[in-house]
Amino acid sequence: MRTAPKSRPPDVARRIKRIGVLTGGGDCPGLNAVIRAVTKSAIYRYGVRVFGIEDGYLGLIEDRVGELSSLHASGILTQGGTILGASNRASPTRYCVDPDADVPCFVDATDKCLATIARHELDALIVIGGDGTMSCADALVERGVNCIGVPKTIDNDIVGTDITFGFTTAYTTATLSLDRLHSTAASHHRVMVCELMGRNAGWLTLHAGLASGSDVILIPEIPFDIDAVCRFVRSRTHRGRGFSIVACAEGACPRDGAPVVARHDPTSPDPIRLGGIGEQVANQISDRTGIETRTTVLGHVQRGGPPVAADRVLATQFGFHALEMVMSGARNRMVVMQNGVIGNTDIRHAAHAQRLVPRDHPLIDIARSVRTSFGDEAS
């Protein structure tokens, strides 16, 4: 990791006149804060024109680009979502030309992207998104486009950075939801299973589960034994604990099993949609213990709403440093935070990979020390 460049060679800065910005993948709290930081810093600090690309790479393919003024970037810091729109269905190398067809047809639309960039005379792109967005930038980087990445995801699973903006807001929302399940679970002496997002990474469930004092935390990185979960829940009942809370990641899977897939979307670069493990776990607990068990699926509630203060600050820092990299002449880098320090790494380092929870992560050890079960033999 290198620290973010502080020097801004005048010759480089003078050559940069127009930059594009897009928000790829799913929506996330803090996206507008990045757009605001990039746009206002570019205009006020450098006199550079900023062009917003609608709906991620889809807008780049379809040439839906418009100039952003400081007015566009005003009053959006506290807003959730993205004023540019987002799409997780379009990739420059895999564009579905007829999504309603019985058999989707895909084409390589990289040339269309390059034509849009040339038409608007964009000197660089700031791409805000997760591992899929960084992966999609690969084809553009190979064709000579300077892409500067800003890591975004509620899953916190981007390789190279300790934290992504949007994550803190998402696990705060999830924690508050789990807190509310405590009271209804206690009132009815039930087991409440709450399914959370996160795809194949357990960061969101681990943090929200620990923050809410959940009794069982099931994450993808630790395959669970449903018998161990049931024994733990039953032991709590025998000790006079009238309820249990199970925080379950959507990608959690039983030992010798596989994640539960809700559906496939053949038109998307990432066609697998996880979901359903929470209900499966709840039914098994109910059948094996006789304890009334209910399921709550938080779903997109975790993605929505205004960013918390910490994410507003982080997103603003990331947006500012992304622009500084463009203006200093950096090429094909991604802003990161490691050990509390803003830096950058090769954008391709974050492509086609996910940052998962290590099984020896300190938070797992801490959770076990307060008798939280992970549904494995060590619980």
Q: Would you please indicate which residues are annotated as catalytic (active-site) residues?
A: 155
Which tokens sit at 110? 């990289």
How far, in Å, CA of 147 to CA of 113, rounded?
13
Question: DSSP label at 91?
Answer: B
Task: Determine the Cα–Cα distance for residues 279 and 34; give it in Å rounded to an integer.
Answer: 36
Rounded CA gap, 135 and 286, in Å? 42
- Tokens found for residue 210: 């620990």
Question: Which residues are within 8 A (CB) of 118 and not within 5 positions of it... i.e. 6 or more apart?
Answer: none
Task: Give the residue carrying structure tokens 């839906």.
Answer: 64
8: left (phi over 0), alpha (psi -120 to 50) or beta: beta
Question: Which string of b and e fits 344-363 if b means at least 16 CB within 10 Å?
Answer: bbbbbbbbeebbbbeeebee
Integer Cα distance of 174 and 170 in angstroms: 6
Composition of the chain by helix, strand, coil, percent to 5: 40, 20, 40
Give the Cα separation of 344 and 334 in Å (integer): 5
Cβ within 8 Å of residue 104, ≥6 positions away: 96, 98, 266, 267
Q: Where are the beta strands (DSSP E) in 2-64?
A: 2-3, 18-23, 49-53
Angstrom distance (rounded) from CA 274 to CA 252: 10
Two tokens at 249? 């990641």
Rounded CA-CA distance 325/335 in Å is 9
